[in-house]
Amino acid sequence: MTGPHPDLADAPLLRAARGLPASRVPVWFMRQAGRSLPEYRALRGEGSILDAIHDPGLSAEITLQPVRRYGVDAAILYSDIVVPAHAIGFGVDVAPGIGPVVTKPFRSAADLARLRPYEPDVDAPYVSEAVRLAVAELGATPLIGFAGAPFTVASYLIEGRPSRTYGLTKSMMHGEPGLWRELLDRLADMAIASLLAQVGAGASAIQLFDSWVGALPPDVYEELVMPASAKVLTALEATGVPRIHFGVGTGELLTLMGAAGADVVGIDWRVPLDMARDRLPGKAVQGNLDPAVCLAPWDVVADRARDVLRRNAGRPGHIFNLGHGVLPELDPGILAQVVDLVHEEGRAGA
């Protein structure tokens, strides 16, 4: 077992995540691995991602593809937020083109019996193995491990499929707050186990995805969601790896998400980056080019990417990213140009 690569401590992503000046503005893209890449489509074949990742060599290879193609400053493990729930046998699958689907959704206290603790080494050893394989190849480029935050995972388990309104989720939250809290607490423990295993296997940063939490107003977030997310982020503190916390539509939640224990808060494209920084004193930020803008001609994309850099105004503690995931129809050539632009024009202090 070899230790971490000696240059990893100076990696721009890890320095920026700690709010320190870096040799360049680091950039990576949520969903950088996936259908927008021809080399991914060539390797992947049909079927659920949950089956594909049983082959750690394949996961590691897909994780590395965008790093090779784009020269991004981080890799993110090819896996999914529902892997732990799937691995304990809750009956979750990922339907291609749709997202997570659950055979028997979580609807009452009786369903707690189906939510046993997650033991990464026993239930999904292929995840840690994929981390080890990818890290061995990545050298001085950090690997970001990740987990789904309790609210977002709960929303899939309760609704049974992607939802627009979160009607069943909100009805449980408000109608059965005791059950809701118990569910979130168990999902927090699941995320903690998963993240600790990934860090143990060599991940040098983590991201907690609360993608759909923007469906909630701040007071409800603070009372019924933040304690569970804070439990996860706090449990990771002792590892010393930077913690990134991200959701979509979270303009009014940003300050609370930072206070939940994140070192870096991910910003979607709706909040101008300078305003986001005002809401997050002392925190690093990640974002926030609109992924849909990347479908426009290069001049437009370049202009919008420069606007993000301008709003950060050279302050340390900025990780460039999209405001959400890469769209599958995106031309990867555009992202390669974005990486070059950020690296050339986004020097700290410029």
The residues annotated as belonging to the active site are 31, 35, 44, 80, 156
Find, among 125, 4, 133, the residue nearest to 58 by Cα: 133
Residues 6+ apart with CB under 8 A from 288: 266, 267, 268, 269, 271, 273, 276, 308, 321, 322, 323
Binding test (CB under 6 A) with ligand CP3, winner from 70, 78, 126, 221 = 78
Residues 6+ apart with CB under 8 A from 272: 311
Q: Which stretch binds ligand CP3 (CB under 6 A): 77-85, 189-197, 237-245, 253-261?
A: 77-85
Binding test (CB under 6 A) with ligand CP3, winner from 5, 18, 31, 304 = 31
Residue 3 binds ligand CP3 (CB under 6 A): no
Least Å from the CB of residue 232 to ligand CP3 = 15
Residues that bind ligand CP3 (rule: CB under 6 A) add up to a total of 22
- Main-chain dihedrals φ then ψ at residue 266, nearest 5 degrees: -80, 135
Least Å from the CB of residue 110 to ligand CP3 = 26
Within 13 Å and on the Cβ side, how many CA atoms surround 86?
A: 21
Number of H helices, E strands in the chain: 16, 9
Residue 266 binds ligand CP3 (CB under 6 A): no
Residue 99 binds ligand CP3 (CB under 6 A): yes
Q: Please say whether the beta carbons of 87 and 53 come within 8 A.
A: no
Q: Which stretch binds ligand CP3 (CB under 6 A): 2-10, 75-83, 183-191, 303-311?
A: 75-83
Residues 6+ apart with CB under 8 A from 299: none
Least Å from the CB of residue 254 to ligand CP3 = 16
Q: Give the residue with the Cβ less far from ligand CP3, 148 or 346.
A: 148
Count Cβ atoms below 10 Å from residue 104 Cβ, excluding itself. 11
Q: Give the residue with the Cβ less far from ligand CP3, 33 or 102.
A: 33
Residue 34 binds ligand CP3 (CB under 6 A): yes
Q: Please say whether the beta carbons of 82 and 156 come within 8 A.
A: yes
Residue 33 binds ligand CP3 (CB under 6 A): yes
- Give the footprint of ligand CP3 on this chain (CB under 6 A): 30-35, 49, 76, 78-81, 94, 96-100, 146, 209, 211, 325
